[in-house]
Amino acid sequence: MTEFIRSIYSLVRLKNKIFWNRIKKTENWSKILGIVLLIYLFLNAIQSGSFTIQYVKDIFNKESVLSLPLFSLIFFIIFISNILTTFVLSGSNYSLNLFKTLLHFPIKFNKIIIYEIISGMGDLINLLFIPFYAAALLIPNCVFGWNNILTFITVLVLFLFSVNSIIYLFKNILALISFSKYARKLLFLISISSGIIFLTITNKLNAFLQNTNNIILTEKILNLFPSGIYLNFIMNINSGFLSYIFLLTLSYFLFINISLLALNIYFANLLRRKNCSVSPNKNNMKKSFLTRLSLSVKINPITKKDLVYTLRCLRTMLFHLLIVIFLPILLISYKSSVHENSSIRNIINQFSFSILYTSLIVISFAGNIFAFDGKSIINYFFRPISYTDILKSKTFISNFYIVIILFANLILFIILRTGFIDIIFCELLILLDYILLLLAALPLSIYFPKEVNYWAMNGFLTSFINLFILIVITVILWFISQAALVYYIHSNNKILLFILVCFMIAPFYYYKEKIIASLSRLLSKRKEKIITVFR
Amino acid sequence: MNILEIVSLTKKYGNITALDNFDFQICDGIISGLIGPNGAGKSTTINCIADLLEYDSGILKIFGKELKNDPIGIKKKLGILFENTDDLFLYLKGEEHLHFVGEIYGLESNIISARIDELFNFFEIESHRRMLIESYSKGMKKKIALASIILHDPEFIILDEPFEGLDVLTIIKVKRLLQQLKAKGKTILITSHILSYIEDLTDKVAIINKGKIVFQSETKDIRNKIKNEVTKETYQSLEDIFIDFTTEEEQKTELSWLK
């Protein structure tokens, strides 16, 4: 046991050293700005979390039967957002290289899995969600003592471990699916069925939540998930039964974490043994229609390469994914407020919800900051090489892309006359935040010396034409999807349901090769490595 | 006694056979060379020995034990230098990297520190001790990789392209180090494309092509090997043997468009 703890400790220390070495490597100004940016993101998360809790508390008094179920619902959404965001955005090539290097040493495979889950807890995208979880302490008007703090920290750590175990399990399962020869068909089936299920649920959700009993029933179901158990513990943190509740919570998390760990070890071992020859590789991916089209266009070869690269970009899919998840929730919320003679209370309620959801979106976008393959946070904003290259920088494009999306969203809300003053206000704030960051970043990026690496020169710089194409495509897609969703929620049209499902799965289908390749690379770099070795 | 014993090892990647009933043995306390053209199966063999690859069939015994039965125990007594130096922990300082390696092999902290001092001195990279490996040149990365595989005093050392990227002085140093290690009873397996080094250093040499051993001999005997039965002509060098056993006759030797 001592040896086991010692090696896990060594591995965790390794990750810690790597993290600090990378931070130290950046310039002092960059470090300061990076810290400011992180504090900003954390404060944003704390503020949105506590805002929501405060408003729900104001609307429903403590005795109200709906108060706790609502918190439970919010918590579950945050929990799912955390899993989804970390799943999509974390796991850079560098961490996969680290995994690969670890396999060279006499370390048991199981230990590496445990270490991976533990180190996943320290993933910056994950850390951004902690303020949301911590804000739950505001619900029960907590009185802090040593006992409360210690038990809270223990439960929070166990809860985070379970979140990461679930993410890791998804990665394992999807990596296994991606290795199967039916991967493409399965992915297609999963996207169609999830599209139909999602849209059906979206339509029924409003009526379902009108009934108080249904909300209470939902809470009971959600209470079986780690988020529900965690919230339940928080609600009882001041009660006289703390030790009893703590023991129950502890047993639940120990049970669920051990079960998930066993499953993860099983699946990871299964993956390790699988024949790697079927592993999809970037190099033998089929070309999509748009890629083929762009290859046939007569433009200079460098721009053509950039264009193909942009069209393959998986990150674009995340935006589609976020529309699919968050927008209907906002629209349902709007729809219900219209039917119930919208009162001030409703508007406040929506305001808090919209802040919460948009914050989650921002955090998901903010994940981009950490997505540059092991580059430090600040490189995201400060990488452009000179002012002439700014317009070509992918960093700039990503930022601009977000600004345009938020701007398009804002205009659409006005066009559709949703009356969403609070949401517009919220969107505007985020938009201004981004513009402010961009304005601050651009002059500074010219002034400060930057690291120009291989990736910055090869492929990551992209031409202005790509920016234009992406913006046009995105704005059109957003316009169609939002208009169609509003219409669908109001009319319940079956044909529209079909069209929407097709529309929703289009990005999944378009990026299917890339998704499969990414999924298989998520966990099983060792398989890719084997192929590389052989080549 | 055989330190390494490979019998009928087969490894396939889909339809491609990387190792085809591969047989190979290495005796205790000698330096062996494994050479072959690109894609012949050298790295696949090393990856199977390092337990990074699972083979399809056959027997792989190291120190007389089946690798599958005790991979961790066997790995603790191995030191493997991989061809790709980017597999190091690039964002650790040289010193930190060696410390971590020492810890993983269960060495005491004071022993690790003393050995690290000696290694940095030996490879003449003292000035880079506290710099991130990412900033090292290829040769320096190779030196750190070499240092980290001998830190725990392994019994069996496997070196995949050990001289690649090293300057002449370091090559001489590494060659001497290998001779010293042999003198101390260590067993060494080297793969390299530089045949003259293999000829200089090794006691036994094997040529692998298309996943099979096509030639095997004591290095000292290679110049006595008969090349042509009729003329009784012998091989002049290892290069001569290598070309004979790995090149197909109909292979093109000239490019049509070059004037």
pLDDT in tens, B160-171: 988 888 888 888
Could you tell me if A304 and A295 are in contact, meaning their C-beta atoms sit under 8 angstroms apart? yes
In a domain, A306, yes or no: yes
Whole-number pLDDT of residue B16: 80
Name the residue in chain B with its Cα closest to that of A533.
B43
Query: Closest by alpha carbon to B113, among B140, B131, B127, B95?
Result: B95
> Does A166 reside within a domain?
yes
A105 touches chain B (CB under 8 A): yes
- Within 8 A of B105 by CB-CB distance, chain A residues are 105-106
**What is the number of other CB atoms lying within 10 angstroms of the CB of residue A409?**
22
CB-based contact (8 Å) between A432 and chain B? Answer: no
Mean pLDDT of A94-100: 59
Sheet holding B78-81, edge to edge: B78-81, B156-160, B187-191, B31-35, B204-209, B212-218
A153 within a domain of the structure (yes/no): yes
Residue A393 falls within a domain, yes or no?
no
Average pLDDT over residues A368-392: 44
Query: Residue A452 to residues A32, A379, A456, A462: CA-CA distances in angstroms?
Result: 20, 10, 6, 15
Residue A295 included in any domain: yes
Residue A84 belongs to what domain range? 25-340+461-534
What pLDDT score was predicted for residue A529? 38
Of A10, A276, A535, the CB nearest to B103: A10
Least Cα distance to B146 among B113, B197, B181 occurs for B181
pLDDT, residue A401, reads 52
pLDDT band at A47 (very low <50, low <70, confident <90, very high): low
- Mean of all residue pLDDT scores within chain B: 86
What DSSP string runs through A205-237? HHHHHHSHHHHHHHHHHHTTSHHHHHHHHHHTT
Cβ atoms of B56 and B42 within 8 Å: the answer is no
B50 vs A contacts (CB less than 8 Å) = 104
What is the structure's pLDDT at A149? Answer: 84
Which alpha helices (H) appear in chain B, and where do they start and end?
A: 42-49, 71-76, 94-104, 109-122, 138-150, 168-183, 195-201, 238-246
Given a cut of 80, is residue A405 above it in pLDDT?
Answer: no
Pair type for strands B233-234 and B226-228: antiparallel
CB contact under 8 A, B91 and A278: no
Interatomic CA distance for residues B45 and B60, integer angstroms? 10
Question: Sign of dihedral through CA atoms A414, A419, A425, A430?
Answer: negative
Q: Give per-residue pLDDT as tens, B190-227.
A: 998 888 888 889 999 999 988 899 888 888 887 777 76
- Cα separation of A230 and B249, whole Å? 72
Structural domains counted in chain A: 1
- Flag whether A205 is in a domain: yes
Strands B187-191 and B156-160: parallel
If you average pLDDT over residues A314-324, what whole number do you get?
52
Residues of A in contact with B101 (CB under 8 A): 105
Please check whether residue A280 lies inside any domain of the structure. Answer: yes
B80 → chain A, closest CA residue:
A104
Distance between CA atoms of residues B128 and B98, nearest Å: 13
The most confident of A190-204, A419-433, A519-533, by mean pLDDT:
A190-204
Residue labelled with tokens 């010692």: A6
Please report where in the chains the tokens 């990227």 appear, as a residue.
B165
Instruction: Name residue A171's amino acid.
Output: K
Residue among A21, A7, A34 at smallest CA distance from A369 = A34
CA separation for the pair A310, A511 (Å, rounded):
12
Query: pTM for the whole thing?
Result: 0.68
Rounded CA-CA distance B119/A226 in Å is 50
Q: What is the pLDDT of residues A481-516, one digit of tens each?
A: 556 665 665 666 667 667 766 766 666 666 666 666
Pick the more confident residue, B6 or A13: B6
Q: For B54-64, what is the mean pLDDT?
A: 89
Q: How far apart are CA A74 and CA A63, in angstroms?
A: 19
Report d(CA B221, CA B200) in Å as an integer.
13
Chain A CB contacts of B11 below 8 Å: none
Mean per-residue pLDDT for B226-246? Answer: 76
Inter-chain CB proximity A100 and B103 less than 8 Å: no
Tens digit of pLDDT for each residue in A243-300?
888 999 999 999 999 999 999 888 877 776 654 433 444 444 556 666 677 677 776 6
pLDDT-derived band at A195, boundaries 50, 70, 90: low
DSSP label at residue A449: -
Assigned domain for A528 exists: yes
